[in-house]
Amino acid sequence: MPNPQPIRILMRNTAATLLAAFALLAVPLVASAQTTQPTQADLEKQFEQEMTNATLHGSYTATGKDQPGADQYTILKVTKADGDNWVFTARIEFAGKNLELPLTLPVKWAGDTPVIEVSDMWVPGLGTYTARVVIYKGQYAGTWSGKGHGGQLWGKIEHVPATTQPVVPVK
């Protein structure tokens, strides 16, 4: 009868070798997963690129309305200002004019997700508004309110080529 001892030793060595190989393969995978986290500077650059030359196409609800309405915002440029503030240069059609309006808006971060936070902000010619809008993976969603009305808004973010339409800057 053959001695089973060499077979046990071989099996133990094979199992140990397989475990060691798996551990060696897993270490680079874990290390690479840890190094792929974007920095805050990376996130801010991505946000600036996503929101510059963008049109937000979507819908909104409003107090007293039974059905959602169509909504559209054109953002020409977004740049980081100081602290949490960002300058959004928006194109607004109002009273038959095509206006370019720079708005300084606070943007907070929930992990990797930017959230536009406006509280009782006066917008020239439009009124005072409060809003919370989340921007994530080409979409936006949030809440808004003005004097005596409010609702929700949501939609997708599309990039548009820079336009040559005449614009009247608001001062």
- For residues 151 and 144, is the Cβ–Cβ distance under 8 A? yes
Residue 47, token pair as written in the block? 């946000």
The distance from CA 103 to its chain's CA centroid, rounded to whole angstroms, is 18
When mean pLDDT is compared across 12-16, 17-21, 138-142, the lowest value belongs to: 17-21
Nearest alpha-carbon partner for 155 in 170, 137, 139, 131:
139
Per cent of the chain over pLDDT 70 is 72
The answer to whether residue 170 scores a pLDDT higher than 70 is no
Residue 110, token pair as written in the block? 């929930």
Residue 135 confidence class, pLDDT cut points 50, 70, 90: very high
- For residues 115 and 132, is the Cβ–Cβ distance under 8 A? yes
* Average confidence (pLDDT) over 65-76: 93
- DSSP for residue 38: P
Three-state DSSP class for residue 13? helix
- DSSP for residue 36: T
Q: Which CATH class is domain 41-169?
A: mainly beta
The distance from CA 18 to its chain's CA centroid, rounded to whole angstroms, is 43
* Average confidence (pLDDT) over 6-24: 51
- For residues 150 and 63, is the Cβ–Cβ distance under 8 A? yes
Residue 152, token pair as written in the block? 């929700």
Cα–Cα distance list, 164 to 47, 161, 167 (Å): 24, 10, 9
The answer to whether residue 68 scores a pLDDT higher than 70 is yes
